Amino acid sequence: MQYLCLVYIDEHVFDEMSEREGKQLVNDALDYDDELRRRSHYVTSAALQPVATATTVRVRNGKVSTTDGPFAETKEHLGGFILIEARDLNEAIKAASGIPMARIGSIEVRPVMQIQRTDLGD
C-alpha cells in the first residue's frame, strides 16, 4: 500500500543553520532516499523550493484566481514529499521516522486512496 509522507518544516530553522549544516542535511536526505530504495519502500520524492516561491490557484465560477503564497499561512510549510510503498501503517511510520527532516520538522503520513472512474451514464 502506498503512503505519502508530507514533510512540513518551519523555514526559519534553515536560517539558523550554518552553510555546512544545510548541505549535510541535503546529503542526509538523499542518503535516506537511497536507504528507502534499498528497503523497497521508495516510489518517488521531491524537495520543494522555499514557500516564498509558491503560488496558489483557484477556479471559482469559471474564473481563475491566482494569489502569491502558499495555500495557508501556517508556521510550518510543505518542504517536500516522499511517496513510499509499505505493508502497513507501522512500516510506514518506521520509514517516515528515518526521514532526516523528521528531526526538525513534522512528517504527515497519509495512505493513498485508490480511485476509479464511475460510469455516470451521461
Partner 1 sequence: MAEDAAEIRQRVEAIYRSDSRRVLATLIRLLGDFELAEEALHDAFAAAADQWARDGMPKNPRAWLVSAGRFKAIDRLRRRARFDASVAELARQYDEVEDGGAGTDESVADDRLRLIFTCCHPALPPDAQIALTLREVCGLTTEEIARAFLVPAPTVAQRIVRAKGKIREARIPYEVPERAALPDRLDIVLHVIYLVFNEGYSASSGASLTRNDLSAEAIRLGRLLAELLPDPEVLGLLALMLLNDSRRVARASPEGDLVLLADQNRSLWDRDEIAEGAALAKKALSSPGFGAYAVQAAIAGVHAHTSDPAATDWTEIAGLYDLLIKADPSPVVELNRAVAIAERDGAEAGLRIIDAILKRGDLAGYHFAHSARAELLRRLGRKAEALTAYERALGIAQQEPERRFLQRRLAELQSQ
Site residues (vs partner 1, CB under 8 A): 1, 87-91, 93-94, 110-111
Grid coordinates in use for 111?
Answer: 495512505
12 versus 103: smaller Cβ distance to partner 1:
103
42-47 and 55-60 as β-strands: parallel, antiparallel, unpaired? unpaired
Note the residue count of the chain: 122
Minimum Å gap between C-beta 90 and partner 1 is 5
Minimum Å gap between C-beta 118 and partner 1 is 14
58 versus 94: smaller Cβ distance to partner 1:
94
